[in-house]
Structure 1
Amino acid sequence: MREMTAKEVETLFNEGKTLNIIDVREVDEVAAGKVPGAVHIPLGLVEFRMHELDKAKEYIMVCRSGARSGRATQFLESYGFNVINMVGGMLAWEGKVE
């Protein structure tokens, strides 16, 4: 499984890179703030919404600590998606939130 630190993701974000971020936390967690531009797909719905994703794109998976996003990363990888787990999750994120 490919991984990236929150700091590495934040650096890419601040450089203006186009990032496809998927937040797999629950609704109440996302309401407290998410990475700007992140798409919210709760972990339990990833299987049912993966048809919305493009296998030609790279996705960065985010959750609170990195565990749920790790599970989502492994699941999507098994279906041929190009995904990276953001280690440390939102607990490690020091950048802007929306």
Structure 2
Amino acid sequence: MKTMTPEEVAILSHPNIIDVREVEEVEEAKIPGSINIPLGLLEFRIQDLDKTKEYIIVCRSGGRSARATKLLEMQGFKVINMVGGMLEWKGDIA
């Protein structure tokens, strides 16, 4: 599984970020431009994703995003888990 730190993600220009936290968590703070697909709904929303793009997967601390990354990898997606999650994020929030 590929990983990136929040600091590495923060310097990317226009990353494709999927936040797998629950809607209530995302309403508190999210990375600008990220899309929210809660982990429990991810397998039902796979058809909405583009296999030609690389996605960075984010959650609160890195556990749920690791599970989501494995799930998407098994489906042939290019994905990276952001270790440390939003607890470690120091960049802008929306």
Which of the five TM-score ranges fits, normalised by the shorter chain? over 0.9
Give TM-score scaled by structure 2 length: 0.98
Q: Equivalent residue of 2:72, what SS?
A: helix
**Given the alignment of the two structures, is residue 7 of structure 1 paired with residue 31 of structure 2, yes or no?**
no
What does residue 36 of structure 1 align with? 32
The answer for unaligned runs of 5 or more in structure 2 is none
In 1: Cα distance, 2:89 partner to 2:77 partner: 24
| Structure-to-structure mapping, 1:1-98, within 5 angstroms | 1-12=1-12, 17-98=13-94
In 2: Cα distance, 1:18 partner to 1:55 partner: 17
After TM superposition, which residue ranges in structure 1, 4 or more long, deviate above 3 angstroms? none
Give TM-score scaled by structure 1 length: 0.94
- The structural deviation recorded for 1:18 is 1.9
- The structural deviation recorded for 1:27 is 1.0
Task: Give the counterpart letter for 1:73 in structure 2.
Answer: T
Of all paired residues, the percent bearing the same amino acid is 63
CA root-mean-square deviation: 0.5
Task: Give the counterpart letter for 1:63 in structure 2.
Answer: C
Q: How many residues are paired up?
A: 94
Task: Give the counterpart letter for 2:26 in structure 1.
Answer: V
The answer for unaligned runs of 5 or more in structure 1 is none
In 1: Cα distance, 2:9 partner to 2:61 partner: 14
In 1: Cα distance, 2:86 partner to 2:56 partner: 12
